[in-house]
Structure 1
Amino acid sequence: MSAFDADLRSLAGQAALSRRTVVVTSLATGFAMAVQPIAAQTAITTDANGLEAGEVRIATQDGEIPAYRAMPATGGPFPTVLVVQEIFGVHEHIKDVCRRLAKLGYFAVAPELYARQGNVATMPDVQQIVREVVSKVPDAQVMADLDAAVAFAKASGKADTARLGITGFCWGGRIVWLYAAHNPGLRAAVAWYGRLAGETTPLMPKNPVDLAPALKAPVLGLYGGADQGIPVSTIEQMKTRCQAAGKTCEFVVYPDAPHAFHADYRPSYRSEPAHDGWRRLQAWFRQHGVA
């Protein structure tokens, strides 16, 4: 057992002593309040034609959490992709990403990973989201909920979880790195502008840079060179640690792209790096057996 998994099990044991009630029992409709107004001229909308898509419930150790699931309407079992939310939760953009993956032939599922801590969809600004919800979400809880999402997919009979991938954005980009160090059954991971270093807390005891030796799957990191929240120096640090540990990691830094360059509903959207990153995601999954 790695030190990271030992830390997570310890935290999970602590959490078991004070289980939280699931307070978010259904997903948000539309976009989170904190990202209004939506840049309608660039927002991409993927229809559900030919898909089975919608809200589902995932059984966890302490109840059920809501999630969004999309897959082709016929055929299967399909390769499986976990989609990890931005800081804004599972709102319309994350649902749309699931539908995009389903159109490519994947079983895509995005669990609401803040379900016990609060509903960020109705909060008007990022500072409130971080203070009242995100800072209270334990990494151990997130890893367990993602494992539960894999179990849900497998039990459906429509998902081939032996071909398991994960992708995530912003807050979820960091989680992608953590999950790649957590689940030995993961085949490939794609992290979009996920934080790599910074302060730790008892609930978030490790940064991705601490976990390079523990990575269990190849990771593609997609970053913006103009991202003021993720210094390029931390990307170089992560690259060096992955190389030293003999891990398969690839980094693409788009020089002029800001944070959230894939978020097509926000002013931060940059079409060229977003499309290039999406193309690279597909190639990475094919290369490493998630197809």
Structure 2
Amino acid sequence: MKHSPSDKKTPVTGQMVKLTAADGHSFGAYEAGSAESPLALIVVQEIFGLTDHIRNVCNDFAAEGFHVIAPAVFDRAKADVVLPYSQAGVTEGLELRSQIPSDKTLADITACAKALRDAGHRKVGIIGFCWGGLLAWLTATQTHNVDVAVSWYGGSIGNHVDTAPHCPVELHFGGEDSSIPHTEIQKIRDARPEVEEYVYDDAGHGFGCPERPSFNRDARDLAWSRSVEFLKTHLA
């Protein structure tokens, strides 16, 4: 079955909720889908925050039958962050990211996994985009909180390949992504041949976001279809 998300902004069908990490930090999260859904998924944002695009991704996964939670991981530095898809947005996002130790971000993701399991889900998956793609990889390699992980154009994964993932992982990269060189993609492939890896030759960084100039519908649709099938296979 071919899966394809909506290109246009869809009506918001989810809601903002509050979660608390093990260290007492309270943060916002976008929740979509029902706890009665058979599948559970954490969606991790790009460097731009919980944008309309990320919320629409959550809605699209909810339409595929997932119960979704997307943490506002910038809340540890600044609440309610939504940045523009521009160089200024990238600059501000990187500054905010630098203020948050990765173990604190992983603690927020762990809280999302706990919330989904407390809702009755036996298995939990994760998918991340851009910065979230790296966080999905780190979750799969540094914690035992998820049962399957997918990363779209996650940068710097090549710097974290010494530890094997504890669950099945699928990676998606753009062949024309200037921020993730082919040497890094090959490094991951050499170090972790068990990981499924796809490269979309004519796609750049952020190819899955309709709000970015790099949007590539064909690559997005194929990566989406592969991701949905991979997640459903390992969460069933």
Q: Where do 1:5-84 residues align within 5 Å?
A: 43-47=7-11, 53-60=14-21, 61-72=23-34, 76=36, 78-84=38-44
Q: How many Å separate the matches in 1 of 2:28 and 2:143?
A: 22
What is the Cα-based RMSD across aligned positions, in Å?
2.0
Query: Is the aligned partner of 1:109 residue 2:109?
Result: no
**Counterpart of 1:140?**
103
Instruction: Give the drift of 1:70.
Output: 0.3
Q: Aligned pair in 2 of structure 1 residues 140, 47: CA closer, same or farther (>3 Å)? A: same
SS in 2 for 1:57: strand
Q: How many Å separate the matches in 2 of 1:146 and 1:170?
A: 16
Q: Where do 1:222-233 residues align within 5 Å?
A: 222-233=172-183
Instruction: Give the drift of 1:93.
Output: 0.9
TM norm structure 1: 0.73
Q: 2:60 aligns with which of 100, 119, 126?
A: 100
5+ unaligned residues in a row in structure 2: which ranges?
Answer: 1-5
Q: Is the 8 A contact 1:66 1:111 kept in 2?
A: yes
SS in 1 for 2:82: helix
Q: Is the 8 A contact 1:84 1:172 kept in 2?
A: yes
Q: Where do 1:175-214 residues align within 5 Å?
A: 175-197=135-157, 207-211=159-163, 213=164
**Counterpart of 2:167?**
217
Deviations 1:182-234 (A, max 9, x none): 23242211100001357xxxxxxxx33233x3x10111100001000000111
Query: Is the aligned partner of 1:282 residue 2:232?
Result: no
Instruction: Give the drift of 1:83.
Output: 0.3
**Counterpart of 1:250?**
196
Instruction: Give the drift of 1:128.
Output: 2.8
Query: Is the aligned partner of 1:241 residue 2:191?
Result: yes
Q: How many Å separate the matches in 2 of 1:116 and 1:144?
A: 11
Q: Is the 8 A contact 2:33 2:68 kept in 1?
A: yes
Instruction: Give the drift of 1:150.
Output: 1.4
Q: How many Å separate the matches in 1 of 2:25 and 2:203?
A: 40
Q: Aligned pair in 2 of structure 1 residues 140, 190: CA closer, same or farther (>3 Å)? A: same
SS in 1 for 2:208: coil
Q: Is the 8 A contact 1:65 1:111 kept in 2?
A: yes
**Counterpart of 1:17?**
none
SS in 1 for 2:20: strand
**Counterpart of 1:85?**
45
Q: How many Å separate the matches in 2 of 1:125 and 1:115?
A: 16
| Shift >6 Å, 4+ stretches | none
Q: How many Å separate the matches in 2 of 1:90 and 1:147?
A: 18
Q: 2:209 aligns with which of 263, 284, 289?
A: 263
Q: How many Å separate the matches in 1 of 2:157 and 2:83?
A: 29
Q: Aligned pair in 2 of structure 1 residues 128, 280: CA closer, same or farther (>3 Å)? A: same
SS in 1 for 2:62: helix
Deviations 1:81-126 (A, max 9, x none): 0000000011111111111111111110001111011254257432
Query: Aligned pair count?
Result: 226
Q: Is the 8 A contact 1:59 1:152 kept in 2?
A: no
